[in-house]
Structure 1
Amino acid sequence: MKHYPKIWFLRHGQTEWNKAYRLQGQLDSPLTAQGIADAERQAELIRPVLSQSPDIFVSPLGRTVQTAEIALAGAAYRLDERLMEIHAGVWQGRLRTEILAERPDWPGGQPTALEIYETAQGGEGLNAFQARIRSFLEDLTGPSVVVAHGLWGQVMRAEVRGLDMAQAGHLSNDQGCVYMLESGQETLLQAAV
């Protein structure tokens, strides 16, 4: 297992398409009122971390930039295209129920989101996605805050923790929290409700 610097990972807040179970991939939809509240909770959690002046990286997609503007409370950050969500090919913008209806062959009928995205026609595929994430991780030089996406976070967290990629799609994928990764271990930081 490779050793990476300490990472605080924030998934973007809930979006209109998250709420509708519509695949976003590298398309975009705005945060819902719940998504704004998610980012506000993250702001509370990440405030003490920001005082340590970590490197901060954000996906350039609109939902992550919108989350970062709220959660990071004006802290400077760098956009990095390697943080964009996995591309879902022809399925981007489609409802999950429509895709599942077209694929009765899926074992158990309940694939993980990562399994859906991985098999999308014209999509990026898991190998290329994982290589992009590894490239980003290998460039980290110190403690870092990362604002990105759900599937991106699952694959990155599995990589940092030394888990098999088959386990990545089964990791939690919460919004409104911060995943802290250090020395191959993960701690979930949540705001008091």
Structure 2
Amino acid sequence: MRIYPPIWFLRHGQTVWNKAYRLQGQLDSPLTDQGIAEARRQAVVIAPVLKEAPAIWVSPLGRARQTADIALDGASYQTDPRLMEIHAGRWQGMLRTEIMDAQPDWAACAPSALEIYEAAEGGEGIAAFEARILAFLRDLSGPTVIVAHGLLGQVLRAHVLGADVGQAGALSNLQGVVYHLRDGQEYVLEAPE
């Protein structure tokens, strides 16, 4: 298992489409009031880390940048297109119920979000998604803060933890927390209530 530098991963806060169970992929919707509050909680957790001047990378999609602007309290960052969420092809913008209704055989197996995106018509697919995440990880040279997306975070975290991508969908996918990855272990950091 490859050991990566320390990583602090922040999933963007809840968006209008997250709340409606609408697949976003590489489309965008703004943070809800709850999403803004989640980014503020992340700001409390990440503040001491930012004092150490880590590299900071953010997905160029609006919801991640909106989260970064709040959670990083104005710290400068760079964007990288390799941190964008998986592309869901023609399913982007569709409600999860619409997709499930069109796939009646899925009712019995309750697919994970990653499995749904893998099956998306005209989508990016897990192999290409995983390849760009690995390319990003290989470029890390020191402690890094990353603000990006839920499915990207699951795949990235699975690799850092030495798990198979098939297990990524079983990892937690929380908003409003910071996932600290260090020495092949994961710690979920939360702001005090």
TM-score, normalising length from structure 2?
Answer: 0.98
1:106 CA drift (Å) = 2.2
Q: For 1:43 and 1:169, how far apart are their aligned partners in 2? A: 26
**What residue ranges of structure 2 are gaps of 5+ in the alignment?**
none
> Where does 1:37-52 land on structure 2 (aligned, <5 Å)?
37-52=37-52
1:5 CA drift (Å) = 0.6
Q: For 2:81 and 2:46, how far apart are their aligned partners in 1? A: 22
2:11 paired residue number: 11
CA contact (8 A) 2:179 2:188 kept: yes
> Where does 1:110-129 land on structure 2 (aligned, <5 Å)?
110-129=110-129
2:138 paired residue number: 138
1:28 CA drift (Å) = 0.1
Q: For 1:170 and 1:108, how far apart are their aligned partners in 2? A: 18
CA contact (8 A) 1:100 1:109 kept: no
2:69 paired residue number: 69
Deviates more, 1:73-82 or 1:101-110: 101-110
1:160 paired residue number: 160
The one-character-per-residue Cα deviations of 1:60-114 (angstroms, maximum 9, x if unpaired) are 0000000000000011100000000000000000000110011012272411101
Query: 2:126 corresponds to which letter in structure 1?
Result: L
SS at match of 2:43: helix
CA distance 1:17–1:35, shift in 2 (3 Å)? same
Give runs of ≥4 in structure 1 deviating > 3 Å. Answer: none
Could you say what the CA RMSD is over the residues aligned between the two structures, in angstroms? 0.8
What is the aligned-residue identity percentage? 67
Aligned length: 193
TM-score, normalising length from structure 1?
Answer: 0.98
**What residue ranges of structure 1 are gaps of 5+ in the alignment?**
none
CA contact (8 A) 1:179 1:189 kept: yes
Q: For 2:43 and 2:91, how far apart are their aligned partners in 1? A: 32
CA contact (8 A) 1:61 1:84 kept: yes
> Where does 1:91-102 land on structure 2 (aligned, <5 Å)?
91-102=91-102
